[in-house]
Amino acid sequence: MAPRAEPRGFGAALVALAWLPALLGIAGMASDVLHGTRYFGSNPIKAGEHYFGQWTLRLLVATLAITPLRGVTGWQWLGRHRRRLGLFAFAYLMLHWLTYALLDVQLDWTELRGDLAKRPYIMVGMLALALMIPLALTSSAAAIRRLGGARWRGLHRLVYAIAILGVVHYWMSVKRDVTGPLAYAIVFAALLAYRVAKAVRDRQRAAPAA
């Protein structure tokens, strides 16, 4: 049976759904700060930081889930949307960081240095952001051609390190209830295990031919 074709309008619907949480989050925070509403509770800036951080992790899960979904369903067209989802994960990570830098510490570098000393999880998050920047900058077809497929794939395996750092950042930031970061840790571990198992299978299949 031929692989199922991509549903019409899937790409546009994916983009709209990926942007929707950002628009709702920005609108809700603006309403809370400017008009005193309570969409994000009594501390909308801190709640907004957490909101965008959560969506970063969700989009990283979606990005890394593309490969196993293709293997299970045979829908190879899903691969065309992996880089797009990765860019959305980067966009939400930037919103997470900008909410902290612009609204929380208000670009006060003294306060930022103090936060880094008192809260190591912020340094972990900044490392994840630093690693994600080259992935975002090389997500175009031109970048793939320029780097070559093997080098590009090697670079973009950093996404697993970024996912691990994201979970560590989340885990360190919560005080007692680690249910959320534990759930993400289990999901990312399962996705990484699938990828490793697939690589081993592919290598074993290639060995007799070689």
pLDDT in tens, 118-153: 899 999 999 999 999 999 999 999 999 999 989 999
Taking residues 175-192, what's their average pLDDT?
94
Return d(Cα 124, Cα 116) in angstroms, integer. Answer: 10
Stronger pLDDT, 131 or 111, i.e. the higher one: 131
Lookup: tokens for 165: 């750092």
Show the tokens assigned to 151: 């080098």
Question: What does the alpha-carbon distance between residue 49 and residue 98 come to, in Å, rounded to a whole number?
Answer: 9
Whole-angstrom Cα distance, residue 119 to residue 100? 13
* Residues, the chain: 210
pTM over 0.75: yes
Report the distance separating Cα 16 and Cα 165, nearest Å: 28
Under DSSP, is residue 165 helix (H, G, I), strand (E, B) or coil? helix
**Residue 129: CA count within 13 A, CB half-sphere:** 16
Residue with tokens 């996705």: 191
Query: Measured between alpha carbons, how far is residue 10 from residues 5, 19, 53, 81, 89 in Å?
Result: 11, 14, 25, 10, 18
In sign, the C-alpha dihedral spanning 87, 92, 97, 101 is positive
The CA–CA distances, whole Å, from 194 to 66, 145, 151, 199 equal 11, 27, 22, 9
Rounded mean pLDDT of the chain? 93
Q: Give 112 or 187, the one with higher predicted confidence.
A: 187
Q: What is the CA radius of gyration of the chain?
A: 19
pLDDT in tens, 17-45: 999 999 999 999 999 999 999 999 999 99
